[in-house]
């Protein structure tokens, strides 16, 4: 394992990886390639940390037998149990397995040890849209329109499968080396039947729709609200109801009551067409029933005049040439488009305490749903 210690991860991370290799059983729960029936931790070499989540880290890994690189999401079972997230984690697995769409990050493998569940996904080399927006501060309206259409198509695909996404934000949009975005992280997604409502208070504060804040029930229109927030943020540089303070309640009040303020081209140096403003305003209708996309979902969204300059089939078929493509080297391990806060991370991965391991073993049957 000497190749791992050459700057790819801290000694503690590598030591933990090695200890995990020999700890208990390792079951393959899913393999996209049906000819490959079994994988486990020893089949992957850890290279970098490229992200962090509530339940664990995301690693850049290389498959030992063929050199292919993947993103591997490590989920600690004890944390999943503590947050009562078995059902949502299982749903995330099912969505990733079914996510055969150009604008969604799909699953390659799922396997588990006694302590953790591992999602192995395509490595999208261009990094988070958040990083690119932070570097540029604002995108041109043309560039934002292209990303909005791709994201809308992805959301429409999920809605067609009765899945509400609920976690749209620049951090959950990855950039392909071809310049096309794709959604990732389905931890807050939920399946909703016709006329069913969800009641969980969840999502990123700046992106929460009024009906989520009011906790009276919400459905698919919250995703179109979030698309309006995203579109505004990409062009202006910050969300429309952002206050800059730590007082979320003040922001929530603005979300529920304040009209959208649009910058003036001469005064603020940010030009927006009337069609763009209209699209954002209609996505950000305070009332879900009157919101763009509520009645006709994706067809209604794509039918808005703002998208008239783009051909949907051309975008979906990736025949459209994007305004921007991430700069990447020929090195397949290039993580320069990922946040250095993650890629330079030297945080210790300690072995789970014996008491925690025993706790997981006592209720490990709760994870049987992952076997299907």
Point out the residues that are catalytic: 167
Helix (H, G, I), strand (E, B) or coil at 7: coil
Render 113-139 in DSSP notation, one character per residue.
ESSEEEEEEE--TT-BHHHHHHHHSS-
To the nearest 10 degrees (0 to 180), the angle between helices 221-236 and 274-283 is 140
Question: What are the tokens at 209?
Answer: 């729709």
In this structure, are residues 103 and 197 in contact, taking their beta carbons and an 8 Å threshold?
Answer: no
Beta-bridge partner residues of 51: 58
Q: How many CB atoms lie within 10 A of CB 336?
A: 15
CA dist 127 and 21 (Å) reads 28
In this structure, are residues 62 and 45 in contact, taking their beta carbons and an 8 Å threshold?
Answer: yes
CA dist 89 and 66 (Å) reads 29
Half-sphere exposure of 125 (CA within 13 A, CB side): 15
CA dist 185 and 180 (Å) reads 17
In this structure, are residues 261 and 236 in contact, taking their beta carbons and an 8 Å threshold?
Answer: no
Q: How many CB atoms lie within 10 A of CB 51?
A: 24
């Amino acid at each position: 394992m000497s190749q791992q210690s050459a700057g790819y991860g801290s000694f503690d991370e590598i030591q933990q990886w090695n200890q995990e290799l020999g700890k208990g059983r390792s079951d393959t729960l899913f393999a996209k390639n049906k000819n490959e029936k079994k994988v486990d931790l020893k089949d992957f070499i850890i290279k970098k940390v490229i992200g962090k989540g509530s339940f664990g880290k995301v690693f850049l890994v290389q498959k030992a037998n063929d050199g292919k690189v993947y993103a591997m999401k490590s989920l600690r079972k004890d944390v999943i149990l503590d947050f009562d997230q078995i059902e949502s984690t299982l749903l995330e697995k099912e969505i990733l397995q079914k996510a055969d769409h150009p604008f969604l990050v799909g699953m390659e493998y799922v396997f588990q040890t006694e302590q953790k569940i591992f999602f192995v996904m395509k490595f999208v080399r261009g990094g988070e849209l958040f990083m690119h927006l932070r570097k540029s501060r604002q995108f041109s309206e043309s560039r934002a329109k292209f990303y909005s259409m791709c994201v809308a198509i992805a959301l429409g695909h999920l809605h067609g499968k009765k899945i509400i996404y609920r976690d749209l934000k620049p951090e959950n949009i990855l950039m392909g080396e071809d310049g096309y975005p794709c959604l990732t992280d389905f931890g807050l997604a939920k399946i909703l039947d016709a006329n069913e409502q969800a009641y969980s208070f969840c999502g990123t504060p700046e992106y929460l729709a009024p009906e989520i804040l009011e906790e009276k029930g919400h459905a698919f229109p919250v995703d179109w609200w979030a698309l309006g927030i995203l579109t505004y943020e990409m062009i202006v540089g910050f969300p429309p109801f952002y206050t800059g303070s730590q007082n979320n309640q003040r922001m929530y009040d603005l979300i529920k009551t304040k009209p959208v303020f649009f910058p003036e081209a001469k005064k603020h140096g940010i030009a927006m067409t009337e069609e763009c403003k209209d699209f954002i305003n209609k996505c950000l209708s305070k009332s879900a029933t009157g919101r763009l996309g509520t009645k006709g979902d994706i067809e209604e969204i794509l039918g808005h005049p703002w998208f008239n300059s783009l051909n949907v089939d051309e975008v979906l078929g990736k025949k459209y040439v994007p305004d921007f493509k991430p700069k990447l080297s020929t090195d397949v391990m290039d993580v320069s488009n990922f946040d250095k806060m993650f890629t330079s991370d030297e945080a210790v991965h300690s072995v789970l305490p014996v008491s925690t391991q025993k706790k997981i073993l006592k209720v490990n049957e709760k994870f049987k749903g992952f076997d299907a």
